[in-house]
Amino acid sequence: MSHAGTWSDSVCETDCVSICYDDNLILVCENKSWNEALSFCRKHYRDLVSVPTEQVQHWVKMIGQNASTPHVWLGLNYSCKLHFWFWLDGTIVGMEEEARECRGKGAIQSGEEQSWVVLHETEKLNFICSKCG
């Protein structure tokens, strides 16, 4: 959505048409592991997306519907030492599910159900980057 309040398509660097939220969130239609996605976002944009508010969650779910994979990586990480989930922006998440073998990372389903899921970090998925802090 533009600042004028209109919807527009935007072409990703990967030739994938996606929806951008306020020129801040971008769906990258490349299949990468969580760590590869993190490196890509930090090199080309800012970071994997953090979802600290319901408004951002709404836009992440909308953008995720355009993914070519059944799930989409987000910037949701698990601290094995402290046993809690947190967004890459530092926001702590009140999610009780522990990551299996400390290799679990947070993603969202890209279909209609749009549930949060924990997947092994080596799975290759599309992902959402944020362009600014």
Model confidence pLDDT, tens digit, residues 83-113: 888 999 999 887 666 555 677 899 999 877 7
Q: Are strands 71-79 and 84-87 parallel, antiparallel or unpaired?
A: antiparallel
Q: Is 42 helix (H, G, I), strand (E, B) or coil?
A: helix
Give pTM, 2 decimals.
0.79
Question: Computed from CA positions of residues 40, 42, 45, 51, in that sequence, does the dihedral angle turn out positive or negative?
Answer: positive
> Does 66 reside within a domain?
yes
Q: What's the domain count of the chain?
A: 1
- What is the end-to-end Cα distance of the chain in Å, rounded? 18
> Does 4 reside within a domain?
no
> Does 75 reside within a domain?
yes
Domain that holds residue 58: 11-130
> Does 6 reside within a domain?
no
Output the domain CATH number for residue 106: 3.10.100.10
> Does 27 reside within a domain?
yes
> Does 1 reside within a domain?
no
Model confidence pLDDT, tens digit, residues 18-70: 445 567 899 999 999 999 999 999 999 999 999 988 888 888 988 899 999 99
